[in-house]
Amino acid sequence: MNFKTSTALLTTAILGISLLTSPIAPLAQEGASPDASVVNVLDENPKIPYDKAINKTIYKDTVLKYDFEVARAKDVVTIETLNAPNSTDSLTVKDKLSVVITDITGKVVSTESFNNFLGVEMSITNTHLEKGIYTVEIKGLSEIDATGVELNFILKDNTKIKPKITDIAIEKKGVLPQGISNKMQPIVNDKNVDYQVSYKYPGTKTYRVVDYYANDESVHEFWSEKIGEHSVKFTIKNSQGVTSSKTIKVNVVKKQKPTKAKLKLSRTTAKKGQKVTLTVSAKGNNLFYKSEYRVKDRKYPVTIQSYSKYKTIVFRAPLEKGTYTVTAYVKQDNGTEVTKTQKVILKVK
């Protein structure tokens, strides 16, 4: 099994992220003598970037040193696998390889472990490092024979970044009548997340998962026939398996068409621009009111007030003389059924 395959497998199993996004571009192998009695120090601490796959032939007592920078505190992982020369066969890493990370003072800061994933032997260091310059030292040990082995190596930033739902965009504010849908979309700080939506219905204590979807389908459509307060919880999970949640409340009310809608004006004759008080009454719950006036010979009405919770408003009479009809409309907040009041005549002198 080659390095690309083995490293990708390890990533899936342990890191949960893709190590390689393109074919490995091996670094040029440096001339190292097969004489096991010679200590080979290859390179003088070259800088090594994150996510750069390195492939080298090493021998007993070969020493590789690489410097890398930690710009801010993070979890750093190195992964090493071995193959027989010119072969894809995985070799045991233990007793053939030593991997140590030191800080700028020479203090050892790494921890090393050995893993086997689907038959691929691996050496892994997983260390939290503060800001600074560090050196990773890889040594070939006595168990490597004279023919040497192929080393596959990669340095990864394994810091787990917590995704966050910064807000939830909601199509309809306020209460929601039974059976009326309401679109909701979480606003997140990470484009590559999966979503889960759960409801806690009125009178229950636990959440029930109702939807799963990916980022490109992040709009959720809520609706319920149950009356009362609902808790809608959005949970997101990023590629590292880190989750975050945010909950909103939705109050579902009994769906009801308003009845007995009436309109009253404080005066039915007014001077141009004079203040007029308009009052609407109706039977129902969570009602919103809209009002308008119209001149008989004109096609479109003039809106006095768009739908709002205020049933009494003060407006000014039109600035043109004439006879106007004033009408009001009543509906539930976010409802679809509208009740119309009678028309009231307003004469402007």
* CATH code, domain carrying 34: 2.60.120.380
Band (pLDDT 50/70/90 cuts) for residue 216 is: low
- In angstroms, how far is CA 286 from the centroid of its own chain? 34
Residue 303 pLDDT: 95
Same domain for 177 and 275: no
Same domain for 134 and 31: yes
What number is the average pLDDT over the span 279-295? 95
Q: Which residue has the tokens 């999966």?
A: 194
Strands 344-348 and 269-270: parallel
Question: φ and ψ at 89, to 5 degrees?
Answer: -70, 130
Residue 29 pLDDT: 36
Same domain for 118 and 192: no
Give tens-digit pLDDT for 186-200.
999 887 899 999 999
User: Which of the listed residues 234, 253, 272 is the one where a domain comes to its end?
Assistant: 253
Same domain for 203 and 98: no
Same domain for 32 and 115: yes
CB-CB neighbours of 37 under 10 Å: 7
Owning domain of residue 270: 259-348
Residue 112 pLDDT: 82
The answer, yes or no, to whether residue 275 has pLDDT greater than 50, is yes
What number is the average pLDDT over the span 148-152? 94
Domain count, the chain: 3
User: Which of the listed residues 253, 283, 299 is the one where a domain comes to its end?
Assistant: 253
User: Which of the listed residues 209, 237, 253 is the one where a domain comes to its end?
Assistant: 253
8 Å CB contact between 236 and 165: yes
- For the CA atoms of the chain, what is the radius of gyration? 36
Which of 112, 125, 134 is closest to 156 using CA atoms?
A: 125
Q: Is the pTM higher than 0.85?
A: no
Residue 121 pLDDT: 85
CATH of the domain at 342: 2.60.40.10
More confident: 89 or 244: 244
8 Å CB contact between 6 and 152: yes
Residue 12 pLDDT: 43
